Amino acid sequence: MLLGSIEAGGTKFVCAVGNEDYQIKDQVQFPTTTPEETLQKTVDYFKQFDAKAIGIASFGPIEIRQNSPKYGYITKTPKPGWQDTDFVGYLKKQLNVPMFFTTDVNGSAYGEYQMALLANERVNSLVYYTIGTGVGGGAIIAGKLLGSAGHPEMGHVLLKRHPDDIEFPGICPFHKDCLEGLVAGPTFDARMNTPGKDVPLTEPVWDILSYYVAQAALQVTLIIRPDKIVFGGGVSSEAFLVKVRRDFAKLLNDYVEVPDFDKYITMPEIQNNGSATVGDFALADLLLRS
C-alpha cells in the first residue's frame, strides 16, 4: 500500500510516496511559485501513483477546523499570493483520496514522535520547533496533535529581551519582537547585514539567540511538560543547542525535573529534513485506520 506526503514550504514543495513502514519509494521537489502552478504540479505528481491517503504538512497559518467553511485553506500567510488559498479543496477536486491536513511543524513533530516510538524511547509527548526563514512549533501529547480551536503558533510567543538586544525591533510583520521576529534566519541580515550561514558561532549574536530559544524551551517545559523538545530548521545545529541547553539550565534553575538535557533538547532524529515526510506518511496511515 502506498501513502502520500506533501511537505508544503514557503520556498519549495516536497512530494513523496512511501510504504506502510514509512520508507520513501519516490520523491520530487519543486519551487513554491503561484498557488495554481504549485498545486497543479502536486496533483500531476500524485496522479502517477495509487496512494491510498495523503498527509499534508503545510506552511501557515492554516485552517484545521473541519467544521469551518475555510477548512483546508492557507489563511493569513505573509507568503505573497497565497493568502486565502483553498489548498485541500484544489487537491480534492482532482485526487479522490483521504487527506490529513496540518502544519509543517505538526508533521515534523509527528514524524519525530513516530521515530522515538520505533526506537523504544519512553516518549509520550514531544514538541518540535523549526527555526529557519520563520519559526513554528508543533506538539504531540499522548499520540495526539495539540490544538482544536486552531493549531499552535509557538513561533509568535513574546519573550523577555536580552539586555544586549534591546534596540533591535524584530522582523515579524505582525508582532515585531516575538520569538520568530527575534531568532528566525532573516534576523541575521537585519542585525548584521550578513546571512546566518556566514556568522561564526563565536559571534555574540548566537548567545542572544540561544537566550531567546531557551526561553521558548522553558515555556513549553512549564506549560506542557513534554518528554522531549526537538529543534530543526536551518538555524538549528548541535553546536547551537549546546548554548541553548546552557541558557535553559540557568533559566529553569532546577525548578522542575526534566530528563538529561542532551536527550531532552535535541536535533531531529530523522536525517535530511525528512521529519515531515515521515510524519505525513504516519498521519495518512492513521487516517486510513481511524
DSSP per residue, 27-40:
EEEEE---HHHHHH
CA atoms of 262 and 280, how far apart (whole Å): 27
- H or E element, residue 77: none
Contact 88, 56 (CB under 8 A): yes
Helix axes 104-118, 275-289, angle to 10 degrees: 80
Report CA torsion sign: 76, 80, 81, 82.
Answer: negative
89 occurs within a structural domain: yes
Long-range contact set of residues 78-82: C-beta below 8 Å, sequence gap at least 24: 78/173, 79/10, 79/32, 81/34, 81/35, 82/35
The pLDDT value recorded for residue 79 is 87
CA atoms of 200 and 231, how far apart (whole Å): 19
Residues 94 and 137 in one domain: no
> How many CB atoms lie under 10 A from the CB of residue 120?
7
> CATH number for the domain including 15?
3.30.420.40
Residues 70 and 19 in one domain: yes
Domain containing residue 240:
120-266
Q: What is the largest CA-CA distance in the chain?
A: 56
Contact 28, 59 (CB under 8 A): no
The pLDDT value recorded for residue 60 is 87
φ/ψ (deg, to 5) at 74: -85, 130
Residues 142 and 261 in one domain: yes
Predicted TM-score (pTM) of this structure: 0.92
108 occurs within a structural domain: no
227 occurs within a structural domain: yes
The pLDDT value recorded for residue 10 is 87
| Nearest in space to 174 (alpha carbons), one of 189, 158, 193 | 158
The tens place of each residue's pLDDT in the chain, 290 residues long, gives: 999 999 999 889 999 999 999 999 999 999 999 999 999 999 999 999 999 999 999 998 999 999 999 999 999 888 899 999 999 999 999 999 999 999 999 999 999 999 998 888 889 999 999 999 899 999 999 989 988 767 888 999 999 999 999 999 999 988 999 999 999 999 999 999 999 999 999 999 999 999 999 999 999 999 999 999 999 999 999 999 999 999 999 999 999 999 999 999 999 999 888 999 999 999 999 999 88
Residues 260 and 278 in one domain: no
110 occurs within a structural domain: no
The grid cell for 91 is 487537491
φ/ψ (deg, to 5) at 130: -110, 135
Residues 224 and 276 in one domain: no
Residues 134 and 257 in one domain: yes
Q: How many domains does the chain have?
A: 2
Residues 227 and 276 in one domain: no
Pairing status of strand 144-145 against strand 135-141: antiparallel
∠ CA 157-158-163, rounded to 5°: 140
Residues 137 and 95 in one domain: no
